[in-house]
Structure formats: structure tokens, C-alpha cells
Homo-oligomer: A and B are copies of this chain.
Amino acid sequence: MPEPGLDMADRTNDFAFKIGTVNGTGSASANGLIMQAIFRMGIPCTGKNVFPSNIQGLPTWYEVRVSGDGYSARTPEFDLIVAMNPATYERDIADVRPGGYLLHDSSWPMAKEFLRDDINFLGVPLGEMCVREFKGARVRILMKNIAYAGALAALLSMDLDVIRRMIREKFAAKPKLIGSNYKAIELGYDYAMEHFDCPLPIRLETMDATSDHVLMDGNTAAALGCVFAGATVGAWYPITPSTSLMDGFQRFCERFRKDPETGERNFFIAQAEDELAAAGVVVGAGWAGARAFTPTSGPGISLMSEFIGLAYYAEVPSVFVDVQRVGPSTGMPTRTQQGDIAAVAYASHGDTKHIALFPANPEESFHMAVEAFDLAERFQTPVFLVQDLDIGMNDWMIPKLTWDDNFAPDRGKVLGADELERIKKFYRYMDVDGDGIPYRSLPGVHPKGAYFTRGSGHTSRGTYTEDADEYTEVMDRLRKKIDSAASEVPSPAIEMREGAGMALVTIGSCDGAVREAADILESQGVPVDYMRVRGFPFDPLVREFLDAHELNFVVEQNRDAQLKRLLVTETEVDPARIHSVLDYGGFPLSAAFVAGEVNERLGLTPDDRKLRPAAERPEGAVA
């Protein structure tokens, strides 16, 4: 029996572990069980899937960070690794931090060359036990997963009652599965209790910090947003990591939007033949008066660009959700990145500019999804909800979503039959109110509302033109219209700190890591202000904030500093004030990396720093 606790201080409710398995072996359930149990113990936690772009047989990991302080960013340092995949033993063992633990299946001996003496090996004969206790290959594979969950329960001091209750809930419809799951949990639990000094210094202790929260991924949240916003038409072409958004929309619609008696559905989902068609369906539906959206990822944005330009120029409300993955081209479909910021802002040829919203977590995914439809209809234009794989597909702890029944959707300037009847003549693209936003009519409502929508040159009256002045009039109004959205999109999230001389600026899912980095920097005697951009075109506050700081570190997850590029061109801030901190290897950002980069730019040597040195940066971290 190894000596648990080797070089490890007490780390109650503050540690990270991951579970390495093979995809297709059903480990997601066990991992979810573990994560949920911690959450139900009232302890803040986040879970991240690291999975391959195939269906079965390749390595996959589930990373859990437990943080009583509520930090949610990924940390690339693991105190414990459950290594269930022999193919990745070497890598997993190398990834355990000195003094940490490796839990593995000791049914077969571990190869000598992998052993490290600065970590603790916790061998549990999972395979052996499951072969002994269960029958059939399929059940044995599945129960082995549950068994490691049991071992973890003992090692980390999870509440067994919580776990049992979860199993009961889960298999309520198939009660005879409950017994075998109980059994498997106990197998692992008992073995660990017997053979190791449980719990480990990394351990859980019940708190009350999650009772107002839920565990949810951003695609589910955004899907809910679409349902609550009243979206009725969803069109899509499957693409990782956006697929689960439409799955969610479908699921919620089947539940909330189907007449229980007639089976009639208040929604229409089109699995289109490709992304061009999906965009077309959305534009067609938006034109005809439905709230319509399509979820996609980078390659889809490229393919949709022609239609996006049409929707911009013909002024058709439409919502595009870009769940970003690693580009360019097919890139790494199961890894996260923020590489489409620039592509989305000016998508399509010619002069265009688009409203975009950048949620930082599933809570914002929900609210911004709702807002996207309002903005699309108010401004009669494509609106982009830009999230990423990390937000979209990972488990986040967020405050329970609530809904205000007084919410009334902003359908924008749509003329009804009565209004059309009253007015003398309807001109689709006339700036009647002087705010750049024209009035719109829907097909079928009234003969006076009829006009000919087109992506070719048109006048403010909606007629065809090749005349310079007539064309320019509409284009200038369009610029004014979109620019005026700057103060209507979500304003930046700003946090000022006492004595801060410089600032961290970021976007989207970098939020957690960058705010945590600000805490680290402050603890190192370097207080920094913080701004997270939440919408495009940029709120005037963005420029003000940048101007107020001599030094702005713009932290983002792409190679080419796309947010910085946008900030410089759109706010015309002096580029000399802006420094980039970039990480784009496909993993969610870590606070240590951000703090390390800032320190390095500030010329602090590693000795000056109080926390982790730069060497502990996540894979692929580059300045």
C-alpha cells in the first residue's frame, strides 16, 4: 500500500482531478455521477470533457475542478488522475502533479517504466472485481466505470447517500439496474476504504454554496433561450460542437411546445442539407415573420457567409449561433478556441458589420440567446451568438435560470394590417424615424405591405437601383443602424480594483481564468482592472475603459489576436496601449497561464512571483 499524502498539504474543497478513459465505454455516466455528487454536496465545481473526434476507441478525459472559492477555470494541474486507459498511462502519469495520486486498475500490473516516485499510485483491481461480480461483457464494462466512482467516493470523502439517491433517480424507470449500480459503487468504495488511508488530503467537505445553482452546459442553456424567446423555426446541419444545441431545442420543444392531445407542434425544425440551406431557411423564416435561428460552428459560418450578407443588406432578422471550435478549416472539431471573432464581425463580402453577443458561461448563453432574437428583430439584421466548445459542451455551475413572465419580446418595427391600411404608401427602406431603422411588413398581411426584397441595389423605397446616390443612401443608413446597436448590446462587464494601474481585457469563456488571474496578480501585489467585452459593435464604455489604462492586456484564445484587432479598428484606441495574451492550443484557458504571461510582460522574474511558475502552463500555451 503506497503512502497517501506524500508531500501533499490539506486541500479540502480545492483541488482538481481527471478521469482518463476510452470513448464509447460509457464512462460519461460515471463521470457525471461524480460531478453531480460533488455539486449536491454544495461544493462549487466544474467539469470539462476532453474528447477525440471519433466515436469509439480513442482516449478521452473528464476533468473536474473543485473550488470552494468558486473558481471555475480549467486548471492544467491535476492532484489526482484516474487512469482507466492503458494507452494513455504514460501521459496520465506524467500529468499528475508532484505529490499527487494516480488511481488505476491493478487487475494487470503497471509497467515499471511508467512509475514515478514523487506521486502516489493507488491500484484498485476494478476489472477483476467486476468480472467476479457481474456477468456479460457489456455490464462489466459499464460497472467498472461505476466502481471507480465508488473508489473516488471513498478517497475524496463523497457523501454515499447523495450518490445512492442519484442512482435511484437515474434508474427510476428501470429499478432493477439500481442494485447492480449500488453494488459497483460499493466494490470500489470498500476496496479503497480498506486499502488506502481515506480520505486523501484532497477531499470534499459539505458546503452550502450550490443550492441556488444548477449544472448546465451552454448549448442546453442557449437552446432554452431560443425556446423562451419564442423561436419557432430552427434550421441546422449537424456539426460539432453545436449539435447538442439543436438536440436541446428539439427536446425542450417536444416537451413544451407540443399539444398533448393533438400532438401538434408549435415549432418547425429543419435538418437542412447543408449550412447554406440552414442559413437560407432561417432567412426565409425571418422574412416571413418567425423567430428563426441556426446553430453552427466555424465551417458553417464560412459556408453561410453569402446568406449572411443577404440578410444584412436586405435587413432580415436572423440569429446565428456560432459554437466555436479550433480552426482554421476542419481544425480540431472537439477542441475549443475563439477563432471566429473576426470572421463573424464582418462576415460576407462587401461592406458589412454584424451585431454579435459573447456569453462567458451558460447563464449568459441563455440570456443572450433571448436577447439575440430581440436585437435581430429590433435591428432587422443577422445577430450572432458567439460561444465556444468550452461553454457549449462542458458542465458549468451557474445560478438557476429564472424567467420573468412579464417579458415581452421586442418584435421591432413591424407594421400590422391596420397600420398598413392607414398609411398612404409603405416604403420598406425609408428612415422614417431618423434612427436608421426602417419599418417592416410581413408577407400575407396586407396588399399595401407588399414589396420586393432583394440583395441587389435598392432604394429607400425598396425599388431596384443602380444609382450611386440611391445606393449610398441605403448603405449609409445601414451603417448608422448597426452602429447604433453599440449601446443596445450587453455592456462590458467591468471590475475595478483599488490602485490598479493596468487592465486585463477579455471575452467569452476566458472570463473565469482571467478573473482568477486578476486575484492572483493582486495577491502578488499587482492589482489590475478587468473588462470583459460582451457585445459588438462595442459599447462606448469599451473605448473609455481602454483609454483609461496605459496598459491593456487583451486575453483571448486565438493565434491572431482577433479581439485586439477589432478593438483597435473599431475604437481607434492607440495600439501601443494594447498587449496580447494568447492561448490557442484548444484547451480552456487557465488562470496561471494568464497571470504568468502578464508577469512576464511586466518583467517580473519567476522569483518575484508568489504562485506557479510559467513552466506549468497548459499544453500549447504560447505568448
- Say whether A586 faces chain B, with CB atoms less than 8 Å apart: yes
**CB within 8 Å for A329 and B351 given contacts A467-B619, A468-B586, A468-B618:** no
**Which of these binds chain B: A118-126, A334-342, A604-612?**
A334-342
**Which B residues touch A351, using CB under 8 A?**
327-328, 339, 558-560, 562, 584
A24 part of interface (Cβ distance < 8 Å):
no
Chain B residues whose C-beta falls within 8 Å of the C-beta of A471 in the assembled complex: 326, 332, 335, 585-586, 620
In the complex the two chains form, what is the Cα distance from A472 to B583 in whole Å? 9
Question: Which of B330, B574, B622 meets A472, CB within 8 Å?
Answer: B622
Q: Does A313 contact B (CB under 8 A)?
A: yes
Q: List residues 557-616 of chain A with CB under 8 A from any CB of chain B.
A: 558-560, 562, 565, 568-569, 572-576, 584-587
Q: What are the residues of chain B within 8 A of A346 when measuring CB–CB?
A: 342-343, 560
List the B side residues contacting A558 at CB < 8 Å: 350-351
Bound CA–CA A455/B330 (angstroms)? 5
Q: In the complex, what distance in Å separates the CA atom of A600 from the CA atom of B244?
A: 56
Asked if A476 and B559 sit within 8 Å, CB to CB, the answer is yes
* In the complex, A305 has a CB within 8 A of chain B: yes
Contact call B303/A329, Cβ cutoff below 8 A: no
Given contacts A331-B457, A569-B569, contact A299 B303 (CB under 8 A): no
A486 at the interface (CB under 8 A from B): no
Chain B CB within 8 A of A161 CB: no
Query: A470 to nearest B CB, angstroms?
Result: 9
Interface: A534 (CB within 8 A): no
B-chain residues with CB within 8 Å of residue A334 when the two chains form the complex: 466
Given contacts A329-B348, A339-B351, contact A469 B619 (CB under 8 A): yes
Closest Cβ neighbor of A52 among chain B residues: B466
Do A329 and B312 contact each other (CB < 8 Å), given the known contacts A560-B479, A620-B472? yes
Measured in the bound complex, the distance between the Cα atoms of B471 and A558 in whole Å is 12
Question: Smallest distance from the beta carbon of A305 to chain B beta carbons, Å?
Answer: 4
**For residue A469, which residues in chain B have a CB less than 8 angstroms away from its CB?**
585, 619-620
Assess whether B350 is in contact with A457, with CB atoms less than 8 Å apart: no
A524 at the interface (CB under 8 A from B): no
Complex CA distance for A52 and B466, rounded to whole angstroms: 7
Check A491 for interface membership: any CB of B closer than 8 A: no
- Are A475 and B572 in contact (CB-based, < 8 A)? no
Report the nearest B residue to A473, measured CB to CB. Answer: B620
Shortest CB–CB separation between residue A338 and chain B, in angstroms?
A: 10
Q: How far is the CA of A467 from the CA of B306 in the complex (A)?
A: 33
Q: Are B302 and A328 in contact (CB under 8 A)?
A: no
Q: By the criterion CB–CB under 8 Å, are A329 and B455 in contact? A: yes
Given A299-B306, A302-B309, A468-B586 in contact, is the A456-B565 Cβ separation under 8 Å?
Answer: no
A204 to B12: give the CA distance in the assembly, Å. 94
The distance in angstroms between the C-alpha atoms of A351 and B561, with both chains bound, is 9
Is residue A47 contacting chain B, with contact meaning CB distance below 8 A? no
B53 touches A329 (CB 8 A): no
Provide the residues of chain B in CB contact with A329, threshold 8 Å.
306, 309-310, 312-314, 348, 350, 455-456
Question: Closest B-chain residue to A346, C-beta based?
Answer: B342
With both beta carbons as reference points, the residue of chain B lying nearest to A472 in the complex is identified as: B620
Encode A282-314 as 1/0 by CB contact (under 8 A) with B: 000000000000000011011101100110111
Smallest CB separation, A83 vs chain B (Å): 18
A575 adjacent to B586 (CB under 8 Å): no
Cβ B299 vs Cβ A468 within 8 A: no
A404 CB → nearest B CB, Å? 35
Bound: A576/B574 CA distance, A: 8
Cβ-defined contact, A326 with B350, below 8 A: yes
A352 within 8 A of B: yes
Is A74 part of the binding interface, using a Cβ–Cβ cutoff of 8 Å?
A: no
Judged by a CB distance under 8 angstroms, whether A258 is at the interface is no
How far in angstroms is the closest Cβ of chain B from A86? Answer: 19
Task: Choose among B472, B569, B622 the residue that contacts A584 (Cβ–Cβ < 8 A).
Answer: B472
Question: Is the CB–CB distance between B333 and A302 below 8 Å?
Answer: no
Min CB distance, A617 to chain B, in Å?
10
A428 lies within 8 A of chain B by Cβ: no
Decide yes or no whether A353 CB sits under 8 A from chain B.
yes
Closest CB-CB distance, A364 to chain B, in whole Å? 22
A454 interface residue (CB < 8 Å to B): yes
Q: Which of B456, B465, B572 contacts A333 (CB 8 A)?
A: B456
* Chain B residues with CB below 8 A from A457, complex form: 326, 331-332, 335
**Pairs A–B under 8 Å by Cβ, sample size 9:** A314-B329, A333-B456, A468-B585, A468-B618, A469-B619, A472-B584, A472-B622, A568-B572, A569-B569
Please name the 6 residue pairs, one residue from A and one from B, whose CB atoms are nearest each other, closest first.
Answer: A327-B350, A468-B620, A468-B585, A329-B455, A328-B350, A298-B349
- Give 15 new A-B contacts, CB below 8 A, not counting A302-B349, A330-B455: A298-B349, A302-B306, A305-B305, A310-B330, A313-B329, A313-B331, A328-B350, A328-B352, A328-B455, A332-B471, A351-B558, A353-B560, A468-B587, A471-B585, A472-B584
